[in-house]
Structure 1
Amino acid sequence: MQKLPKLFIFILGIIFAINLIQSYFTDLIFDEAYYWHYAQHMAWGYFDHPPMVAFLIKLSSFFFDGELGVRFMSCLLSIGTLLFIWLVIDNPKKKDYVLHFFVLTFSMTLLNAYGFFTLPDTPLLFFTAAFLYVYKKFIAAPSILLSIILGLIMSALMYSKYHAVLVIIFVLISNIKLVLNKYAWLAVFVALLGYLPHFLWLYENDFVSVKYHLFERPNRAYDFNDYTVGFFLNLLALFGLTFFWIYKALWKTKGTDLFNKALLYLTYGTIIFFFISSFNRRIQTQWIIVISISLAILAFNYMLENENARKWIFRMGLVNIVLLIFIRFVLVFEEIAPIHYESHGNKEWAASISDRVGDTPVVFENSYRNAPMYEFYSGKTSFSLNNVMYRRNQYSIDDTESKVQHKKILYVSGYLKKGDIAVDLPKQKKGFGVYMNDFESFRKLRAILDESEISLKNKSDITLKIYNPYDFDIELSKLKYKVAYHTQYKRPEEIVPITPVPKDANITLLKAKDTVYYSFKLPPFKMENPGYFKIAISENGLQPGMNGDNIKLVN
């Protein structure tokens, strides 16, 4: 281990303290509240992501309560990320430019933000930096110990976020001779072994995460400005005013050794992959965040050898930092904020509902964001009841639904025109809540069709299977059935009721862990050229849920 300069340790300590203070005074953002909900139901996987983010929150909760109980481990990991970036740079000049190193890294927008926010990208950044550090040692002198460590880190990378596969693949492609290296195969074996619990979780949960991200996620028509131009703007947004010199460092760096080659492949590979993807969907800035690690290394090495780059990155980096510090204050103090941000007023919002409803559980319609935020700040039971006009999420697969069954609840929706109480809802401005004395929902009922695609001209009967995964029986009279027609981009647009014919008219009860069989015909629709449909079940007069998979409609 290299001896760290005192100035490096001092600045690193200051950044850690700043992030702790920021974590304490900043309300959770909605995604953090959602991942906090993950951590209340520890598992080897979750609907949207692997479990690392939940594990970090659970660890944080052992040390602190409140926001720090969500973010403490992120503050530690962000310090570790900077440390690994520093250690992987072996230019002896670096000890003379410690301040430049921190100006470079602290001025990177998302690298700065994930210094305290707890999101899947936080461990992704840390383990990417750790992976590159160990990989550099591995290619210099491979050994069994390094293979095991590298394998464990690769496993941790994949437990952080599925995008981590790009890091591993592009580094492997940069050194294709690794396919003949027994130590590399040992690392792969260790990684797969470590990742086995998540594979098993995916299998046991019908590969729900894979299906959602690859096949179910709604999209929309290609928009050049929003998709492709937006992608390039995201590349600039990662680095703010230093982007020119950082990308110049990338352009000027040559793959003269295996490690530099790995950095180049990782950076260019990620950029090219998401550039191609931008012709299909909108690319979010955090999807490309791993290049912050590789470009921090490349840019700092370039700064050490190029005085002009060193001067301008330092100057523009300081301007970035001033802007980022202002944004950090804005996150805490709404009165100086030009806009209302999602970290503003969450405690007061939760209290405004909790004070009126007491211990009555609150069921939010179509909001995996509001439900955990309310529960975190009120300490009261909450649930997101997702219907067919929304999307599935963690509330669709965990046991939270059971906590509100047959209880008096407040049902909150932004679509209600009146109710028992008025409720402020983010982005929807106003909603209403209505009390339900004996709430009962069956959102886990599965509507199964054998076909994966059906002709729009089909006039024949279609067999429908309704499976009850619950450990209790359900009266069939409580269920109504719908066909939800979706656009070519899997967005729901029209809901049409159907009356499927039961195979056995004498069955009135759907028994626990059992299946009933129906037949139905596709109902007529008004929308133009539907691309998909799914079966939706409405129970007890509630809005229909997402009970079936998307079935493709063909001409």
Structure 2
Amino acid sequence: MRSFLPKNHRLLFYLTWIILAIIQSRYTELLDDEAYYWVYSKFLDWGYFDHPPMVAVLIKAGYFVFHNELGVRLVFILLNTLSLVLIEQLLDKKNALLFYGIVLSLVVLQLSGFVAVPDTPLIFFTALFFWCYRKFLERPSLPYSFLLALVTAGLLYSKYHAVLIIFFVLMSNFKLFARYQTYIVGLVALVFFAPHLWWQYQHDWVSFRYHLFESNVNPYKISYTLNYIVGQILLAGPLAGIILLPAAFLYHAKIVFERSLKFTLIGIYVVFLLSSFRGKVEANWTSPAIVPLIILSHNFLSDKARSIAVNGEKWLFRLLPLTVILVLCARAAMIFDVIPIKQIKQQYHGWHGWPQIMKQKTNNLPIVFENSYQRASKYWFYSGQMTYSLNWYRERRNNYNFWPIEDSILGKPVFIMDIHNLDSFQNKIETPIGIVGYKYDSTFSSFAKVKFTPTKRGTINVNEKLQLFEMTVKTELPTKYYSYIINHPHLQTEIVVGLFDKHGWVQDLPVGHTLNEMIERPQTLHFLNLNLRGRNYYLLFSIFQPGTITGTHNSEKIKLVVR
């Protein structure tokens, strides 16, 4: 036994890592976003509103093998493990015990590494990118150039944060710009990534506009910055963060490759620190920084000539047992519904059983949830019924605004289901997630695919004293919607223009035209007596459907300035 462990410790470590992840994956319910990405996989495309398509492809592959939670997560488990294998190969001084200690101290790798979200392939392709980049630096041949280009495309297809990694690697080594191989890498990567760019072009660059100008843009709160800083310390541990982060930052890069790691680590943290001044930053957005964090902190703590490194390693292993206990408790809480905390129950439990009962009660008809892509996606996964999220115009859009689900149920019988506004439902059922109301709609109508566009692009300027403006609007809609609206002239829809400022919704402005009138010809709309203060606003058209309280997104944001 004594001779077996030294020879096979690496095999045992990775085998144990995979087995724990498989058990965790099989018996932990899907998280909200995982279920949403599973719906992605039912509509494979070159792009989505929120993310590039890598997460959908990986889920599709795993779900082909197992039609359960493990299938959704299967490929992600493999990529998570391969990420560690690649990172270990990138270490300067091989110290297996220290590497295991660092990895086991990073709770995020254990509790999130098996989860089917874009961060897992992003971390994998980040590790593979640096592995290929080191080979490219050692030997910038055409085969390595092609391989690096292919991995760069995979990085971009995983998550848009990949741009930061590529940028900071280039900034760390200006000599790359003098090599023709660098341009070959860029050109080939662009060719591989071109289908996604074409998809974005066809959809008016919707993802880029959302992430750059719409997502998490809020009035500044100091809590955004403080929460970001604390969150990154916890993400790098949570207990060992106070050791690993200083170790990585204190490490002095000796070669060009290590400088690229240092630039990437610091660059990612700084970019999202600055982003905290424009809105809330999610802790996981810095996930690719985990790769240089592990490598640089390991290289620093391996230096036995420095007392600070020796002491850091000692404290890392002193804290490790407590970290392992925390992880084991968290793993158990994710599988067993034993902790009476609402947030944990909602995230990890409550979706087994009752969706199948509801499938029978609703005769397997399509289900419509109001303004909840999370519940719609989870219900679809656990019931097998096609489900639609009718998204509210005062909240952000998601991919349910674009998938051909609404089209397929237009004018057809559905059941509307929700956990809110229960007084509006004739039927209710008690479930682990609370009371769920449901009601039958014999001819469901929703018009999220109807788009209103001003004939004149640009900002609308309003005189603060006059408080009025007008705009001419044209309507674009699929043929199926046009036929349905024309054949149902008495639709009880209401069209409004939502007025928003930087704090959110302000008021609704009535349009004064029916949907039938709007689709027949461009209409000039007049808005009077606005009573608005001098500031920037934006407008958003919305159509309210009969029998629902949810108005849909029916235009892009239209800027309005009151002076």
TM-score (norm 1): 0.91
Query: 1:499 aligns to what SS in structure 2?
Result: coil
Please tell me whether residue 119 in structure 1 is matched to residue 117 in structure 2.
Answer: yes
Mapped pair 1:475 → 2:485: yes
Query: Deviation per CA, 1:157-205, whole angstroms, max 9, x where unpaired?
Result: 1100001111111111001111111111111111111100100111111
Comparing 302-311 with 438-447, greater Cα deviation is found at 302-311
Indicate how the Cα distance of structure 1 residues 40 and 526 shifts in structure 2: closer, same or farther if over 3 A, else same. Answer: farther
| Structure 1 residue 380 displacement after superposition | 1.0
Change (3 A) 1:112 1:481: same
Q: Do structure 1's residue 461 and structure 2's residue 470 form an aligned pair? A: yes
1:286-332 Cα deviation digits (max 9, x unpaired): 10111111110111112222322222112223322221221111011
Match of 1:101? 99
Q: Distance in 2 between matches of 1:516 and 1:64?
A: 51
Structure 1 residue 255 displacement after superposition: 2.3
Instruction: Note the C-alpha offset of 1:430.
Output: 4.7
Q: Does 1:548 align with 2:555?
A: yes
Contact preservation (8 Å) 1:331, 1:341: no
Check if 1:318 corresponds to 2:331: no
TM-score, length-normalised on structure 2? 0.90
**SS class of match (1:406):** coil
5+ long unaligned stretches in structure 1: none
Q: CA deviation at 1:509?
A: 9.0
Which deviates the most, 104-113 or 26-35?
A: 104-113
Q: Hey, what's the Cα distance between the residues in 2 that align with 1:47 and 1:328?
A: 32
Q: Does residue 1:221 correspond to 2:219, yes or no?
A: yes
2:207 to 199, 206, 209: 209
1:513-524 map, 5 Å: 516-524=521-529
Are the aligned partners of 1:37 and 1:372 in contact in 2 as well (CA < 8 Å)?
Answer: yes
User: Which stretch of the first structure deviates more once superposed, 213-222 or 26-35?
Assistant: 213-222
State the secondary structure of the residue aligned to 1:347.
Answer: coil
What aligned pairs does 1:479-498 form with structure 2 within 5 A after superposition?
479-489=493-503, 491-498=504-511
Question: CA contact under 8 A between 2:462 and 2:469: conserved in structure 1?
Answer: no
1:68 paired residue among 67, 70, 80: 70
Q: How far apart are 1:526 and its partner, in Å?
A: 6.5
* Maintained 8 Å contact 1:302/1:309: no
User: What secondary structure does 1:335 align onto?
Assistant: coil
Aligned to 1:196: 194
Structure 2 matches for 1:434-453, cutoff 5 A?
434-449=439-454, 450-453=456-459
Q: CA deviation at 1:524?
A: 4.3
* Match of residue 540 from structure 2: 534
Distance in 2 (CA, whole Å) between partners of 1:89 and 1:460 is 64
> Structure 1 counterpart of 2:541, which letter?
I
Counterpart amino acid of residue 26 in structure 1 = T
- What's the counterpart of residue 3 of structure 2? none
Task: From 203, 214, 233, give the equivalent of 1:236.
Answer: 233
RMSD: 2.3
After the TM superposition, which residues 14-53 of structure 1 pair with which residues of structure 2 at under 5 Å, given as runs? 14-53=16-55
Q: SS of the counterpart of 2:347?
A: coil
Tell me which residue corresponds to 2:375. 370
CA gap of 1:118–1:147, structure 2 versus 1, over 3 A, is: same
Superposition pairs of residues 326-345 of structure 1, within 5 angstroms: 326-336=329-339, 338-339=341-342, 340-345=345-350
SS at match of 1:548: coil
**Contact 1:105 / 1:111 at 8 angstroms: preserved in 2?**
yes
From 291, 295, 298, the counterpart of 2:293: 295
Paired with 1:79 and 1:386, the residues of 2 have a C-alpha distance of 37
Distance in 1 between residues matched to 2:86 and 2:125, nearest whole Å: 9
Partner of 2:306: none
Secondary structure of the structure 2 residue equivalent to 1:289: helix
Query: What SS does the aligned partner of 2:522 have?
Result: strand
Structure 1 range deviating more: 536-545 or 249-258: 536-545
Q: Contact 1:105 / 1:296 at 8 angstroms: preserved in 2?
A: yes
User: In structure 2, what is the Cα distance between the partners aligned to 1:525 and 1:357?
Assistant: 45
Q: Offset of 1:406 from its aligned partner? A: 2.5
Q: Note closer, same or farther for the CA distance 1:426–1:452 as it changes in structure 2 (3 Å cut).
A: farther
CA contact (8 A) 1:131 1:153 kept: yes
**SS where residue 282 of structure 1 aligns?**
coil
> Which residue of structure 1 aligns with residue 90 of structure 2?
88
In the alignment, does 2:394 pair up with 1:389? yes
Q: Deviations over 1:416-456 (max 9, x none)?
A: 533122257999x5553221111122211111013332123
SS in 1 for 2:498: strand
Asked if 2 retains the 8 angstrom alpha-carbon contact of 1:485 and 1:530, the reply is: no
Candidates 262, 265, 269, aligned match of 2:263? 265
Corresponding residue SS for 1:34: helix
Q: Structure 2 counterpart of 1:497, which letter? A: P
Shift of 1:499: 1.1
Secondary structure of 1:346's match?
coil
Q: For 2:105 and 2:116, how far apart are their aligned partners in 1?
A: 19
Whether the aligned pair in 1 keeps the contact of 2:32 and 2:378 (CA below 8 Å) is yes
Please say which of residues 443-452 and 165-174 is displaced more in the overlay: 443-452
Aligned mates of 1:411, 1:338 — CA distance in 2: 28
Aligned residues: 537
Shift in Å, 1:273:
0.7
Q: Distance in 2 between matches of 1:184 and 1:249?
A: 31
Distance 1:55 1:212 in 2: 22
Query: Are 2:355 and 1:346 aligned?
Result: no
Q: Which amino acid aligns with 1:354?
A: K
Among residues 375, 394, 418, which one is paired with 2:424 in the alignment? Answer: 418
Q: CA deviation at 1:547?
A: 0.6
**Greater shift after overlay, 411-420 or 262-271?**
411-420
- Matches of 2:211 and 2:431, distance apart in 1: 27
CA contact (8 A) 1:44 1:201 kept: yes
* Paired residue type of 1:156: G
Q: Which residue of 2 aligns with 1:407?
A: 412
Distance 1:300 1:460 in 2: 63
- Which whole-Å CA distance do the structure 2 matches of 1:357 and 1:328 have between them? 35
Deviation at 1:480, TM superposition (A): 3.1
